[in-house]
């Protein structure tokens, strides 16, 4: 098996190739899913129905059903859009960057992270369309040949930038995810006895037979698409950051936003990966594939990124103070640290900059329950970060006469719950019909290396 000098054994239990195939495909081969799967599906469908009611209300009645007003024109819609896009960075950042850096420990986690990315980006894409109000005219922002004469897209509009960024990122992530599954689809095709499954997975595997030439092209394609998609991790959330930074609103008009948003997206994405993989290893008994070493590695990365986030928060305050801009100081000191939204601000600081520092202690990193709780806090903290950025700057800007508070309506909350249901539903379908661990890649690291315990005898 693959034995890393730093992290030790990546697959425990001295597994054979046959055992790996049997273990990973066991949930797919079951005649019917376990009871908890049906309960989770039922709950997710109920959440989706609740969200669909809210979406119908928004489209049929209008944005007036939301809590937004003339001053706070961006509310839950943009907050949740940015939050979902951040979670959607998990698969690309985790899988592609670690693939390019040749990190073998990614193999047990990358498949689930990539699936999470695709579903999260789909959830994110719903919010800009709903935020437009007239969703049936959403195609107006696409740059296609039309008969509207001089009426054309406003290429200076952040909304258009978001459309380009989301669509490009979704296509690249989906292609990268699908290519990685081709060998595993072929494995299921050869192993299943169902004619329907054999036909479906046979079509999905594109006739894969595992020749040396096929593996060479497979690895080359994965590296090429990974190399092309890697810049998207930076560009997509940088574009989302420019939605804010190109304005003159206090608290938004800052050059730190693009890198700040990118790091925050990776932070929230890795936090969600940690949450998901802890559930996977417990529910499907994958402790020998998703080891404590894997979770420890993710926790170390989160500790480092948390320090970067704390530095970004400090830099924002320093720039506001050093610039001498009265409006900037008011936004940060009177409307965030203190004031109406102080609870949201300190929740953000606590969850993103303080609690993850507990990962410095090995006893905490190896306690799965505590790690799971901290990962939940990270997801909560990153949501509140987006809330603080969007709401605090808009609610009190340059003109005191136009100041207004923002409170989310039931419809906005229901839409968010609906997207959570879509996310859970998509992940559950992934658990049921697609190998959640990359069989071919796990087999690739299940080998002896040049460094073993026997080297000490030489």
* pLDDT surpasses 60 at 288: yes
What DSSP letter does each residue of 66-130 carry, written as one string? SS--SS----HHHHHHHHHHHHTHHHIIIIIHHHHTT-GGGGGTHHHHHHHHHHHHHHHHHHHHH
> Using one digit for the tens of pLDDT, what is the confidence trace for 210-263?
888 888 888 888 888 878 877 887 888 888 888 888 888 888 888 888 888 889
DSSP state of 114: H
Mean pLDDT of all residues in 313-333: 86
Residue 312 near residue 263 (C-beta atoms within 8 A): yes
H helix or E strand, kind and range, residue 3: strand 3-4
Question: How does residue 417 score in pLDDT terms, banded at 50, 70 and 90?
Answer: very high
Residues 274-292: what's their mean pLDDT? 85
| 192 — pLDDT class (breaks 50, 70, 90) | confident
> Is there a contact between 294 and 108 (Cβ–Cβ < 8 Å)?
yes
Give the model confidence (pLDDT) of 42-68 as tens digits.
999 999 999 999 999 999 998 888 888
Q: What percent of the chain has pLDDT over 90?
A: 22
Q: CA of 243: how far to CAs of 236, 254, 257, 457, in Å?
A: 11, 12, 10, 61
Q: How confident is the model at residue 455 (pLDDT cuts 50, 70, 90)?
A: very low
**Of 195-199, 374-378, 382-386, 424-428, where does mean pLDDT reach its minimum?**
195-199
Q: Which residues contact 234 (CB under 8 A, 6 or more apart)?
A: 262
Residue 450, token pair as written in the block: 């040049």
Element (H, E) at 134: none
Res 454: pLDDT? 42
pLDDT at 7: 55
Q: For the chain, give the mean pLDDT.
A: 83
Region 83-92 average pLDDT:
82
CA 126 – CA 76 distance, rounded (Å): 12
- pLDDT of residue 304 exceeding 90, the answer is yes
Confidence of residue 458 (pLDDT cuts 50, 70, 90): very low
What is the rounded average pLDDT of the residues 321-347? 87
Please give the model's pTM, rounded to 2 decimal places: 0.87
């Amino acid at each position: 098996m693959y034995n890393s000098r730093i992290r030790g054994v990546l697959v425990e239990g001295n597994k054979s190739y046959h055992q790996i195939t049997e273990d990973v495909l066991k949930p797919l081969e079951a005649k019917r899913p376990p009871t908890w799967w049906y309960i989770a599906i039922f709950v997710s469908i109920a959440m989706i129905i609740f969200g669909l009611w809210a979406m119908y209300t928004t489209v049929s009645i209008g944005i007036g059903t939301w809590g937004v007003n003339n001053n706070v024109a961006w509310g839950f819609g943009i907050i949740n859009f940015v939050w979902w896009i951040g979670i959607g960075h998990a698969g690309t950042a985790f899988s592609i960057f670690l693939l390019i850096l040749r990190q073998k420990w990614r193999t047990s986690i990358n498949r689930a992270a990539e699936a999470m990315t695709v579903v999260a980006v789909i959830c994110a894409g719903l919010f800009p369309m709903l935020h437009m109000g007239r969703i049936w005219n959403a195609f107006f922002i696409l740059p296609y040949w039309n008969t509207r004469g001089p009426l054309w897209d406003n290429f200076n509009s952040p909304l258009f930038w978001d459309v380009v960024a989301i669509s490009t990122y979704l296509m690249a992530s989906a292609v990268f995810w699908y290519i990685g599954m081709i060998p595993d689809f072929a494995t299921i095709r050869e192993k299943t006895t169902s004619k329907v499954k054999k036909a479906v997975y046979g079509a999905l595997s594109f006739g894969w037979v595992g020749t040396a030439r096929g593996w060479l092209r497979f690895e080359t394609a994965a590296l090429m698409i990974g190399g092309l998609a890697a810049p998207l991790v930076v560009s997509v959330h940088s574009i989302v950051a420019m939605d804010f930074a190109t304005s003159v609103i206090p608290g938004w008009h800052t050059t730190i936003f693009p890198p700040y948003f990118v790091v925050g997206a990776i932070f929230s994405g890795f936090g969600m990966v940690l949450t998901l993989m802890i559930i996977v290893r417990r529910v499907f008994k994958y402790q020998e594939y998703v080891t404590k070493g894997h979770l420890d590695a993710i926790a170390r990365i989160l500790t480092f990124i948390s320090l970067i986030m704390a530095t970004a928060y400090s830099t924002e305050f320093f720039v506001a103070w050093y610039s001498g801009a009265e409006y900037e100081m008011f936004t940060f000191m009177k409307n965030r640290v203190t004031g109406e939204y102080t609870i949201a601000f300190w929740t953000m600081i606590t969850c993103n900059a303080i609690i993850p520092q507990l990962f410095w202690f090995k006893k905490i990193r190896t306690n799965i329950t505590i790690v799971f709780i901290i990962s939940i806090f990270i997801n909560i903290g990153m949501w509140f970060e987006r809330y603080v950025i969007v709401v605090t700057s808009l609610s009190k800007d340059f003109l005191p006469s136009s100041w207004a508070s923002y409170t989310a309506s039931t419809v906005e909350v229901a839409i968010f719950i609906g997207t959570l249901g879509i996310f859970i539903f998509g992940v559950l379908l992934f658990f049921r019909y697609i190998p959640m661990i990359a069989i071919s890649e796990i087999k690739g690291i299940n080998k002896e290396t040049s460094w073993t315990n026997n080297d000490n005898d030489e």
